[in-house]
């Protein structure tokens, strides 16, 4: 996307811009669900080593705040009885194992929401080389300007580059 502003020319990556917008929307939605849980019809049993079990149980409060109710289930396993309501059916086990691994590495609960929101935002965003109408591009620019951090996508890539009038003059050998 090419756009002109008072302070220069902007080159905007349609994917990363849309991803930032979707990420912030998803993040707000997930924040509104913080602490909520839904019971699994068929609780998941996870086998592990005894020292891994003790680590998981030590993090039970952190996991509960993230929406996972986990209980000991024998000497080398735990059972997941409740999950956050935002998880898609069929993805629970993979995501639970991933999130537990992240918590055991010391990741904070807020980062768990961030990672999930970033993943979902990326998948839902316009892709490179997608044709997008002028109306949608205008809406993306409007929404991007209202984002908390409009300059970066959730993965840290820039959403836009600005070229100042002075830089343009130099590029065209104007003084």
Terminal CA-CA length for the chain: 28
Distance CA 109, CA 167 (A): 43
Check: CB of residue 17 under 8 Å from CB of residue 140. Answer: yes
Alpha helix stretches (DSSP H) within 59-150: 60-65, 92-104, 109-124, 134-145
Residue 100 phi, psi dihedral angles, 5° rounding: -65, -45
109-126: average pLDDT: 82
Per-residue pLDDT tens over the stretch 53-111: 888 898 888 788 778 899 999 999 999 999 888 887 787 778 777 777 777 777 766 56
pLDDT at 51 over 80: yes
| Per-residue pLDDT band at 160 (split at 50, 70, 90) | very high
Residue 133 phi, psi dihedral angles, 5° rounding: -70, 160
Distance CA 131, CA 136 (A): 10
pLDDT of residue 77: 94
Identify each DSSP E strand in 13-109 by its residue range.
38-47, 69-72, 77-83
Check: CB of residue 120 under 8 Å from CB of residue 157. Answer: no
pLDDT of residue 79: 95
| Per-residue pLDDT band at 173 (split at 50, 70, 90) | very high
> Coil, strand, or helix at residue 57?
helix
Distance CA 103, CA 68 (A): 12
Give percent of the chain with pLDDT exceeding 70. Answer: 97
| Per-residue pLDDT band at 162 (split at 50, 70, 90) | very high
């Amino acid at each position: 996307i090419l756009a002109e502003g008072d302070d220069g020319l902007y080159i905007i990556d349609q994917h990363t811009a849309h991803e930032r917008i979707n990420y912030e929307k998803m993040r707000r939605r997930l924040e509104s669900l913080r602490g909520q849980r839904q019971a699994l019809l068929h609780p998941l049993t996870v086998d592990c080593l005894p020292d891994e079990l003790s680590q998981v149980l030590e993090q039970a409060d952190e996991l509960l705040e993230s929406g996972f109710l986990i209980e000991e289930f024998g000497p080398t396993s735990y059972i997941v009885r409740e999950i956050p309501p935002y998880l898609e059916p069929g993805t629970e086990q993979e995501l639970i194992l991933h999130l537990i691994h992240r918590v055991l590495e010391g990741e904070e609960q807020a980062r768990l929401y961030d990672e999930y929101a970033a993943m979902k935002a990326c998948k839902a965003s316009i892709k490179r080389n997608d044709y997008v109408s002028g109306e949608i591009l205008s809406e993306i620019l409007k929404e991007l300007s209202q984002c908390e951090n409009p300059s970066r996508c959730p993965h840290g890539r820039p959403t836009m580059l600005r070229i100042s009038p002075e830089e343009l003059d130099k590029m065209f050998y104007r003084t």
